[in-house]
Amino acid sequence: MSILEILKASAGRFPFLPEERLVRRAHFVEDDFKKIGLKYQLEFKEFPVTVGAKTFYLPFGSYELMGSECCIENAREGDQKHTSMSGGGLDKESLLYFSKISEWGHDHIPHHWPHRMRPELKDPNQHLNTLREVWWLSHFSGVDYTTVKHDALVSNGKKVDWEFTTFSNLKLRVEVKRRVGDFQRRCYQTPLKTNSMFWDLAEKFPDNATDGFINVGCITLFDPIDREVRIAAIDWLENQNKIDCLCFSAVVQNPHDAFWVLPKANNSVLKQVVLPLDEEDKTYFAPHWFPVRVEQVASVLSNLP
């Protein structure tokens, strides 16, 4: 199947993605993949889902990142690392998701997308992180895109993912973290690793900034933004002085657990600046494969009717 055919098959049920828009996106994707020099392999599958007495099929058009460190064939006995898993958000990604980011990038930050991000987008182990950086930028409203800087150098000698000004004269710095280790919580019900969730986030921002910038940390998880995550975030934000707001997204189906904005009390305006998930965001899903012990499989099979 071609890129356009996969996009059509993946989006056929979405009224907000008419054919002419998919054709436009397909041109962007084909051109971007060539310019990036990405090594990939297209794939299309339909996953059966049974609800009551009915079975329907979810289409998932994806591209595999050749050379990714993630692969289920890496798994060994007792292995629970994300590098021993495969699927969406690991060594594959939804082609529809890439097409959305590509279209947005061409329309809003053509001075950056994709040429200035080519090294990161070409790297199969950095590609998905960079996509998420652009996805998060697209969720800020009122941005003056002529002011956008990527990998912006700050006064402590480090770089943050984004720096920009809004038309209401808010100056923001944004650092994005995509926590693929959270797949362990999703697949194996392991406890939330709070230290990992916030690792290397505050350190990216300068101490006691007096230059008028609002510092925002954006974190993507792969299990719900549940009560435990929220309590940990509130406690963490209250006990450090470098970040003014935390934003969370999660690859889950329940909208309540999929997106959350937590500003400090003196920066509540950020709740209006950060855009919620749109219709297309809510359709995203990431099928993935992970290793389990033989005895776990036997236990499941023994309980089948």
How is residue 46 written in tokens?
């339909």
Distances (CA, A) of 270 to 64, 86, 121, 168, 216: 36, 36, 29, 12, 9
With beta carbons less than 8 A apart as the criterion, state whether 240 and 265 touch.
no
Spatial distance between the Cα atoms of 56 and 289, rounded to a whole number of angstroms: 21
Residue 304 confidence (pLDDT):
45
Structural domains of the chain, with CATH:
1-124 (no CATH), 140-275 (3.40.1350)
Percent above pLDDT 70 for the chain: 94
- Per-residue pLDDT of 268-298, as tens digits, reads 788 889 999 999 999 998 888 888 765 554 4
Whole-model pTM: value is: 0.93
Q: Which helix (H) or strand (E) holds 297?
A: helix 294-302
Q: Token pair of 233, please?
A: 């975030």
